[in-house]
Structure formats: C-alpha cells, structure tokens
C-alpha cells in the first residue's frame, strides 16, 4: 500500500498542488499587501518590480510548503509502526539543481533590480529643483529658481522634480508613500531624490528615519497641482515674502545656517 517515495505519482500530485497554491497565495498577497496609490512614474516601475517579487515569493513559498505538508500527511508514521524511513543520504545532481536554479532566479532578479534602479533614479531634463531641509521636527522647502520658500511642498504635475536635500541636525528621511521613493537627508551633505508626480492631489510627506522625540509627527503637506496653479502659487509665495520673481534670482537659501557642504 505504501508507495515508494520516488514514485512519480507523489511528484505529480505535489506539483499540481504547488501550482494551485501559488496562484491562491498570489491572490492572497495581492489583497494582504496593498500598495498605496500610484502617483509617480517611479511608482509604476517599483510596483511592477514588487509584483514580480510577489510572484517569485508565492511560487517558492508554495513549492517548499506544499512539499513539506505533503510529506507530513503522506509520510506520517502510523500508530504502532516503529520501522525506520527509507535510507538515502543525498543526491548530488539534485543538490546541484537546487543550487543552480535559484542562482538563475537570482541572476534574473538581479538584472531586474539593476535596470529598475536605473529607471527610478535616472536624471531628467527640465527638472524642478527644490532645496529641502529637514530639521527636528519639520521640513523647509526653497525653490532656488525663484527664491520662493515654503513649509509645504508644491510641485507641478507631470514635471520631473529633483529634491536637493540636507539636514540641520540629525538624519531625516524624505518619503511620500504615493511616490514610493525615499532618501535620507544627512547633515553636512547634499543628497538627491528624483521623482515625477503624475496625479494631482494632496499627499503627506513623512520623515522615515527615527530622529528623536516627535519623529512620528515630522510631516509636511505635499500638493501636486497643474502648471498654471504652480506658477500662480510661486507668485503668491514671493509676494508674501516681499520679493518679485525678477529679484528672486539673487536671493539664496533662506536658512542661513544650513551647511552647504558637499563631500
């Protein structure tokens, strides 16, 4: 009655189960791991890579767990049976196979990783540059092109944006979950983050690096608006600061004590 463990039927049944469970698992993960709204071009790439990983995860998880549970059910010891299991100590071709196949998967995913990284960080023409300064526990934004300064981050939709970031005290981290990408702001250095917002609306910029007492509350409003609204906002902002766009060019970063060091 007991089939040999190398009987083909075991592998056929388990194989079918792996396929079924992989699909079920992927569906489950899709529901259980909800990505935020996709609001930048970078987000599109990242979400694609994420889903590729979820497929890999589902398949590999199903593979291991199905075979494990299959063995648990089929090869369990019956009551009163005190005999031993089959004797085999290993199988070198098999070991090589399950070294090489994951290696291939790693190479593929490494390739995906490298290309997606390039796409996500690529410099674009016509970038809006914003100088971002983090400090305990708020953010300040200045627009070097016009000299406007603000506590909210306002950006035109569909135009690449480049954050030039630094910090006044400790390490902070710039993150808008809807844009996906994240970058630390480090005292004494300038770090760069690029993204292209694609959906108009209001978002929240959060600090993602523990920075002390009210790190949890180190947030800023992010508004993605149309080009016209953006231009208008710049004017209003400058007017409020008592400057005009014409003189703005000569006005530098508002925060005088920002160390503008690069190393």
CB atoms within 10 A of CB 164: 16
Its sign, for the CA torsion 111, 116, 118, 121, is negative
Considering only the stretches 78-86, 99-107, 204-212, 240-248, report the one whose residues sit in contact with ligand CUA under the rule CB under 6 A: 204-212
Taking the CA atoms of residue 26, residue 27, residue 33 and residue 36 in that order, the dihedral angle to the nearest 10 degrees is 120
Collapsing DSSP to helix, strand or coil, 2 comes out as coil
Decide: 173 and 183 in contact? Cβ < 8 Å. Answer: yes
Considering only the stretches 7-15, 208-216, 222-230, 240-248, report the one whose residues sit in contact with ligand CUA under the rule CB under 6 A: 208-216
Q: CB under 5 to 8 A by kind: which of ligand CUA, ligand HEA, other proteins, none does 178 bind?
A: other proteins
Q: Which of residues 19-58 bind other proteins (CB under 8 A)?
A: 32-37, 39, 45-46, 49-50, 53, 56-57
Q: CB under 5 to 8 A by kind: which of ligand CUA, ligand HEA, other proteins, none does 49 bind?
A: other proteins
Nearer to ligand HEA, 60 or 157 (CB): 60
Nearer to other proteins, 88 or 126 (CB): 88
Q: What is the rounded CA–CA span in Å between residue 20 and residue 234?
A: 56
Beta strands 219-225; 153-156: pairing state:
parallel
Is 218 a binding residue for ligand CUA by CB under 6 A? The answer is yes
Decide: 130 and 155 in contact? Cβ < 8 Å. Answer: yes
Is 60 a binding residue for other proteins by CB under 8 A? The answer is yes
Which tokens hold the place of 100?
């090489």
Q: Which of residues 138-197 bind other proteins (CB under 8 A)?
A: 169-171, 173, 175, 177-178, 180-184, 186-189, 191
Considering only the stretches 101-109, 122-130, 173-181, 190-198, report the one whose residues sit in contact with ligand HEA under the rule CB under 6 A: 101-109
Helix axes 8-32, 41-74, angle to 10 degrees: 140
Is 121 a binding residue for other proteins by CB under 8 A? The answer is yes
DSSP 123: -
Collapsing DSSP to helix, strand or coil, 140 comes out as strand
Q: How far is the CB of 105 from ligand HEA (least distance, A)?
A: 4
Is 102 a binding residue for ligand HEA by CB under 6 A? The answer is yes
- Binding residue count for other proteins, defined by CB under 8 A: 91
Nearer to other proteins, 157 or 170 (CB): 170
Residue with structure tokens 């190398």? 6
């Amino acid at each position: 009655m007991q089939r040999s463990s190398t009987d083909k039927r075991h592998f056929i049944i388990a194989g079918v189960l792996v396929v079924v469970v992989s699909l079920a698992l992927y569906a489950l993960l899709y529901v259980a791991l909800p990505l935020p709204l996709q609001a930048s071009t970078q987000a599109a790439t990242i979400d694609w890579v994420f889903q590729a990983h979820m497929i890999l995860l589902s398949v590999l998880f199903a593979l291991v767990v199905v075979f494990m549970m299959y063995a648990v059910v089929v090869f369990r010891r019956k009551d009163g049976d005190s005999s031993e299991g089959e004797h085999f100590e290993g199988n070198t071709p098999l070991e090589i196979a399950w070294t090489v196949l994951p290696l291939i998967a790693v190479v593929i995913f490494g390739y995906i990783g490298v290309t997606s990284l390039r796409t996500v960080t690529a410099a674009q023409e016509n970038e809006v540059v914003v100088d971002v300064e983090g400090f305990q526990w708020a953010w300040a934004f200045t627009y070097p092109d016009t000299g406007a300064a603000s506590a909210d981050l306002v950006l035109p939709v569909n135009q690449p944006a480049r954050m030039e970031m630094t910090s006044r005290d400790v390490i902070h981290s710039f993150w808008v979950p809807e844009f996906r990408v994240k970058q630390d702001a480090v005292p004494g250095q300038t770090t760069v983050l690029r993204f292209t917002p694609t959906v108009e609306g209001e978002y929240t910029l959060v600090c993602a690096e523990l920075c002390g007492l009210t790190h949890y509350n180190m947030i800023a409003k992010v508004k993605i608006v149309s080009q016209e609204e953006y231009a208008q906002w710049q004017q209003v902002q400058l007017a409020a600061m008592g400057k005009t766009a014409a003189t703005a060019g000569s006005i530098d970063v508002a925060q005088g004590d920002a160390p503008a060091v690069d190393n």
